[in-house]
Amino acid sequence: MKPKKDILFLCQFFHPEYISSAQLPFDTAKALQKSGLSVDVLCGYPKEYYNGPQVPKQETLSGVGIHRLSYLQPSRSHVLGRLLNYFSFTFSVFLHLGKLRNYRSIVVYSNPPILPWIASWAKPLLGCKLVFVSYDLYPELALETGALGPGSSVTKLMRHINKAAYPRFDWVVALSSEMKRFLAANRAISPDNICVIPNWYPDGGEPNRDLTGNRFAEALGNKFVVSYFGNMGTVQDVDTILGAVRLLKEEEGIFFLFAGHGNKLEALKQAIAQEGLKNAQVLDYLHGKDYRDALQISGAALISLESGTTGLCVPSKTYSYMMEGIPLIAIMDDSDIVADIESGAGVHLKNGQCQRLAELIRSMAADPERCRAMSQKCRELYLLRYTPDVCTAQYVRLFRELLGKEDA
């Protein structure tokens, strides 16, 4: 009988899609492969977050075998589209369940939310170890934002999936301490089987403030740019930020730069256009050099979560801001990120405090020395906690212990 390989990744998004939930599993798979473990991936065929040349359905990159599945990919801007997208990919995985018996362990991600149930259901038949990486917690996240009602059929399905799946996970990876606390209190799994491994961002080196060749420099180089990049969806508090944009519309030296995607993006664009807010611009999702240029021009970076959602998800763009040494402005409940900020990496406020946000931005724009100190603290914390090497090493230790491998 052919010996089993060590690890199979199950995730909807993977390289070459440019979002963090695709690139982070790729980084993890490469690190595990480099450590001496054999690694394959079963993922979706790239479309939604990829506009490059066609890629093969099967290939090997950095020693990692990748098998990409076709599935229906309607727009996820509406609930029906999201459900069709999720169930279609999950069904494609179900059709390939036979592959799972060829692995000693499976790592499954929380996108789509029903995927972990398939892996946990199959575990007794496969005789493998199972690790769940929790990016977002459902149905609680959808309930907090009003996307689902407590009595809806989807909510009931998700509760059933959680009740059935969690007892079968050997390990659950939470992205933050507050997420671990929530899981320990609300899921059928011991806190001893939950480990905290934060997300990360590739290190582009020491921040470079030379704006030569920067696409944003001519228009924004002399302004204090407050940036918001990434998802602008149901979970993010965009209203508080828009309130500050309105309050600061006469401040010629302050500019807001938005880029990303999500179901609040169009409403933000419309508000800025209809109200004639000349102190703000909204761009499409940025990646590659365009994103690095946008980071380089930023004097402060906004991160936000709606009240009650902290612990249910983590804003992953935070780590790119810290890598670049950009002072943070967090609009959210207490969290690991807020703890970083309170150590000197930025400022923190509660949801709805538009006036306070405007005042904080004014004070930061007027105090370059304070911002430089925040910048240095961000970079220091990034190198200590949030580099790819630091974070993926924790996955390597987890899987080598799980599989009984001696350290290489």
Tens digits of per-residue pLDDT, 156-195? Answer: 988 988 998 999 999 999 999 999 999 999 999 999 999 9
- In terms of pLDDT, which residue wins out, 78 or 280? 280
Tens digits of per-residue pLDDT, 63-78? Answer: 999 999 998 887 766 7
Answer yes or no: is pLDDT of 292 > 60. Answer: yes
5-200+387-402 shares its CATH topology with 217-385: yes
pLDDT at residue number 81: 76
CATH 3.40.50.2000 fits 5-200+387-402, yes or no: yes
- In terms of pLDDT, which residue wins out, 64 or 119? 64
pLDDT at residue number 26: 98
Task: At 241, list the tokens.
Answer: 């930020």
Answer yes or no: is pLDDT of 407 > 60. Answer: no
Delimit the domains of the chain by residue range: 5-200+387-402, 217-385
pLDDT over 90 percentage in the chain: 73
pLDDT at residue number 77: 63
Answer yes or no: is pLDDT of 256 > 90. Answer: yes
What are the distances in angstroms from CA 24 to CA 35, 62, 283, 382, 389?
17, 15, 24, 16, 12
Average pLDDT over the chain, rounded to an integer: 92
pLDDT (average), residues 230-241: 93
pLDDT at residue number 408: 42
Torsion sign across C-alpha atoms 383, 387, 392, 398: positive
Distance CA 320, CA 302 (A): 12
Q: 0.85 exceeded by the pTM?
A: yes
Top CATH class, 217-385: alpha beta
Q: Is 223 in contact with 192 (CB distance < 8 Å)? A: no
Answer yes or no: is pLDDT of 291 > 60. Answer: yes
Tens digits of per-residue pLDDT, 11-49? Answer: 999 999 988 999 999 999 999 999 999 999 999 999 888
pLDDT at residue number 76: 65
